[in-house]
Amino acid sequence: MNDQTFIPPRLAEIAAEFSAASREEKLELLLEFSEQLPPLPPELRDHRGLEQVHECMSPVFVIAQRHGEQIEYYIDVPPEAPTIRGFAAILRQGMNGLTPEQALAVSSAFIQQMGLHQVLSPQRLNGINALLVYMKRQALRLLEGEQVETI
């Protein structure tokens, strides 16, 4: 897998959907995805073991857990931050079930393909890029055998 080109199938589907959408539709899609982000399981709701994405303007927390060869990500974003919440749901849908190696190889090119620069401020774009970086960093920890908080 080439780090410059690997986009998981689900992320590629979502990027294509956003790419074909108008500016207004892109915002509507983000809002729809924001409603799809599941709540944290009860044992993670106190954020113990979750990593805060400090680059985000809103409080965003993420943790990766390994289930066999696959990663499952849990992300918490308040409903008051629907754009980052929507993007978090997109990343979760697109990256859950990947191996750590695949997660590390995910290219950020899909973000550009989505055309989010048309509807989000540079500061928000930095936040969503940071969330992807944090998720990849957690995949690396899992790959290296570091304990990323497990339930």
Averaged over 100-125, what is the pLDDT? 94
- Between CA 64 and CA 75 the distance in angstroms is 9
Domain residues for the domain of 130 are 9-143
pLDDT digits (tens, 9 = 90+) for 13-59: 999 999 999 999 999 999 999 999 999 999 999 998 899 999 999 99
17 in any annotated domain = yes
∠ CA 18-24-28, rounded to 5°:
70
- Between CA 69 and CA 140 the distance in angstroms is 13
40 in any annotated domain = yes
Answer whether residue 3 shows pLDDT above 90: no
Which pLDDT does position 5 carry in this prediction? 73
pLDDT digits (tens, 9 = 90+) for 73-96: 999 999 999 999 999 999 999 999
Q: CATH number of the domain that 75 lies in?
A: 3.90.1010.10
Which pTM value belongs to this model? Answer: 0.91
12 CB-near residues (< 8 Å, 6+ apart): 110
Which pLDDT does position 118 carry in this prediction? 93
Give the pair of three-digit tokens for residue 58. 């809103």
Answer whether residue 151 shows pLDDT above 90: no
Which pLDDT does position 145 carry in this prediction? 84
pLDDT digits (tens, 9 = 90+) for 64-75: 999 999 999 999
Answer whether residue 146 shows pLDDT above 90: no
Q: How many domains does the chain have?
A: 1
131 CB-near residues (< 8 Å, 6+ apart): 53, 56, 60, 62, 75, 84, 87, 88, 91
Torsion angle in degrees (nearest 10) through CA of 143, 83, 20, 74: 30
1 in any annotated domain = no
Q: Which amino acid is at 124?
A: R
4 in any annotated domain = no
